[in-house]
Structure 1
Amino acid sequence: MQDPPVTLTCRNVWKVFGDGARRVLDAHDGHPPAEALREAGLIGAVQDASLEVRRGEIFVIMGLSGSGKSTLVRCLSRLIEPTGGQVLFDGQDLLRASRREMIEIRRHKMGMVFQHFALLPHLSVLENVAFPLRVQGVPPGAREERARESITLVGLRGREHYFPRELSGGQQQRVGIARSLVVEPEVWFLDEPFSALDPLIRREMQDEFLRLQTMLHKTIVFITHDVEEAIRLADHIAIMKDGEIIQIATPERLVLEPATEYVAEFTRHIPRGKVVTLASAMTPGPAPGAVAGALSARARVAEVADQVEAAGQPFAVVDDDETVVGHIDGRTVVDILIGRPVRGGEGPR
């Protein structure tokens, strides 16, 4: 199956703080070594970052506090001006766009949700959600209709006339999500949107987020420091450390093939059954005898473990076209769950 087109490209992006940052970058042809930055008294918050985000995918940027992930996502939307590099959005170089052009792009093509909900306390839920359309100059009737649709989408129908102080933390975050969706953005930036929530509410919001993505198929850049959240939500993950991108991979490849000890430590405690797909765990080719049924190659081992172990027979593994590509049995599932090596290669995502 052909990969979707790339919507957002980041090439060799730098954000360097301090006097003369641009001069130091130019002096080293856009790739200054760490020593040059230190000698000039500069701080490289983002260093030579490159990534591609494909249409309709959830691309997670993950790292500890101070790793540069939030600075990078603000560079992608030019809320912070990059010191160097290139950011392409649907082929347009955003670093060459004028200030007015960037305002229009953010208003009409980008949605943003941050850790702090930033709801306007004197406005109702309906008015908060409709606010971006008001800024765009959308007529009152049309903006109210679209705001109501967005409120329904996030499960807050009936609370249109509540004020933020009358809502729980999870409900306030839903308002923030509805407000960012009301402009029907082409790309959606979320910077640790659930980190201020209690664990149970956070899990509920992750479920809600995945439900919305199933319906809307947005192109999403999602920032988090929580590896379990990243593994659960992402199509691809970029891990950052000290301003640099250390590895970009699917959650499965990140766990099975960490590029560095730092990445391995990040993912060490993730249960492999929650990450490994049947495409990686299966034995290629049809089963030699009868099978108990068919399972998707995209399914995670943990999702089907009970079913496979209880069957007493192997299951066929099928691709998106329902073609048999392999088979899996209970013994293999147990091997994955207890940490023995997996067979096969990376399958479809």
Structure 2
Amino acid sequence: MQDTSNIKRRALPLQEEAKDSAGVAVRCEGVFKVFGKNAAKLIGQAKGNIDAETAQAVGCVVGVNNATFDVFEGELLVIMGLSGSGKSTLLRCISRLTRATAGKIIVDGQDLLSMTSKQLIELRRNKMGMVFQNFGLLPHKTVLENIAFPLQVKGKTTKASITRAMEMVQLVGLHGRENYFPRQLSGGQQQRVGIARSLAIEPDIWFLDEPFSALDPLIRKEMQDEFLRLQQVLSKTILFVTHDFDEALRLADRIAIMKHGVIEQLDTPETIVLNPATDYVRKFTKDVPREKVLKIQAVMDPVDPTEELSDLRVSKDAIIATVAEAVLSQHMGVGVVDAQGTLVGSVHPSHVLKILFGDTGRQPT
């Protein structure tokens, strides 16, 4: 398994600075999903979010409540919340597995809610990939056949489908098991088949609904590592649903935290932990160790040409917890580099110790 400790989160534009659709893969504008026969009337009377008590009084349940946000190209956006928060409903609305009651969901310049069934099928076949909790593998087909199946549905030849499926087998580390049946695989291996099958169609946008929740903790960690490796290679636009905050912190470029259908806060993991927008978000984050979200750049010193540094180098975007042991093993400062390998600062063992065991007095940058 490849070491993912230094895999970096990508720099993303702030939502409020996204004035147009450049670089936006998915745009949601005032999206509602309301269950109940009075849904249309309720939405028509709403000014902003629908009040939960008002909805209940007229026999409605609000699954998604006025969701407005952008997902940027190449971004891994994690949508999370407790059971019943609306996270899976929102994902299903964006993928049009469930039809939103109101609003706009813009993909490729088109509103999914105004698409015909034929247009929607074409979009799903060519642009979207989906992975869910239950692996959905065909028990009578081998690994290779399971992965090739959606390609054959698209009309690819058997030869082309098998060639592409073998590429996916290699990508997800299942070489040698391509002729196994699902019953012969572990849970983690079955999940890899599901991921490979989804990737085989080369989706631009990838939807994952709690894909690792059925796995035991060790396999789940391995699958997270594998997922990070794949994203480093493929740079897909990903919407990933989970109820596990540690998983969200580990994977996300940004996190959207939902409660009763409302997005309480959507921001980077660092900002959510350090500056929770609501009491609800604060409860989620109060026990999160800062070293799990702060990056090295938050505690590094500027470059000092006269300072002697150790041979170790760490990325400015590395999460402190992932490199703390290596930094603490040094007897002098460690060089901090950017994505191009250019020295941009230094970090000292004392800085990391203060983050781990006490306040540094520094403010994140």
Shorter-chain TM-score bucket reads: over 0.9
Following superposition of structure 1 onto structure 2, how do residues 16-35 of structure 1 map, counting pairs within 5 Å? 16-28=34-46, 31-35=49-53
**Could you say which residue in structure 1 is the equivalent of 2:293?**
275
**Could you say which residue in structure 1 is the equivalent of 2:170?**
152
Alpha carbons 2:351, 2:360 under 8 Å: kept: no
Alpha carbons 1:115, 1:191 under 8 Å: kept: yes
Counterpart check, 1:301 vs 2:320: yes
Q: Distance in 1 between matches of 2:167 and 2:326?
A: 39
Return the match for 2:331 from 312, 320, 333. 312
Alpha carbons 1:287, 1:327 under 8 Å: kept: no
Farther-moved stretch of structure 1 (198-207 vs 336-345): 336-345
Alpha carbons 2:38, 2:59 under 8 Å: kept: no
Alpha carbons 2:174, 2:189 under 8 Å: kept: yes
CA 282–182 in structure 1, closer or farther in 2 if over 3 Å, else same: same
Counterpart check, 1:227 vs 2:224: no
Q: Distance in 2 between matches of 1:71 and 1:339?
A: 41
Counterpart check, 1:336 vs 2:361: no
Q: Distance in 2 between matches of 1:152 and 1:310?
A: 36
Please list the CA deviations of residues 195-229 of structure 1 after superposition, one character each: whole Å capped at 9, or x if unmatched: 00111111111111111111111111111011111
Q: Distance in 1 between matches of 2:335 and 2:102?
A: 50
Task: Output the aligned Cα RMSD.
Answer: 2.1
User: How much has 1:343 moved relative to structure 2?
Assistant: 1.7
**Could you say which residue in structure 1 is the equivalent of 2:4?**
none
Question: Unaligned stretches of 5+ in structure 2?
Answer: 1-10, 14-21
Return the match for 2:267 from 249, 259, 269. 249
* TM-score (normalised: structure 1): 0.92
Following superposition of structure 1 onto structure 2, how do residues 204-223 of structure 1 map, counting pairs within 5 Å? 204-223=222-241
**Could you say which residue in structure 1 is the equivalent of 2:6?**
none
Return the match for 2:279 from 242, 256, 261. 261
User: How much has 1:309 moved relative to structure 2?
Assistant: 2.9
Q: Distance in 2 between matches of 1:67 and 1:154?
A: 32
Secondary structure in 2 matching 1:155: coil
CA 310–126 in structure 1, closer or farther in 2 if over 3 Å, else same: closer
Q: Which has the higher relative contact order, 1 or 2, with Cα contacts under 8 A spaced 6 or more apart? A: 2
Amino acid at match of 1:187: I
Alpha carbons 1:12, 1:48 under 8 Å: kept: yes
Following superposition of structure 1 onto structure 2, how do residues 50-61 of structure 1 map, counting pairs within 5 Å? 50-61=68-79
Farther-moved stretch of structure 1 (122-131 vs 261-270): 261-270
Q: Distance in 2 between matches of 1:154 and 1:138?
A: 22
Q: Distance in 2 between matches of 1:178 and 1:322?
A: 32
Amino acid at match of 2:323: V
Following superposition of structure 1 onto structure 2, how do residues 119-134 of structure 1 map, counting pairs within 5 Å? 119-134=137-152
CA 12–184 in structure 1, closer or farther in 2 if over 3 Å, else same: same
**Could you say which residue in structure 1 is the equivalent of 2:132?**
114
Amino acid at match of 1:336: I
Amino acid at match of 1:27: Q
| Identical residues among aligned pairs (%) | 53
Q: List 4+ stretches of structure 1 deviating above 4 A.
A: 1-4, 321-325
Q: Distance in 1 between matches of 2:208 and 2:12?
A: 27
Counterpart check, 1:238 vs 2:256: yes
Alpha carbons 1:132, 1:179 under 8 Å: kept: yes
Alpha carbons 1:287, 1:316 under 8 Å: kept: no
Following superposition of structure 1 onto structure 2, how do residues 43-54 of structure 1 map, counting pairs within 5 Å? 43-54=61-72
Secondary structure in 2 matching 1:311: coil
Secondary structure in 1 matching 2:329: helix
Q: Distance in 1 between matches of 2:118 and 2:63?
A: 26
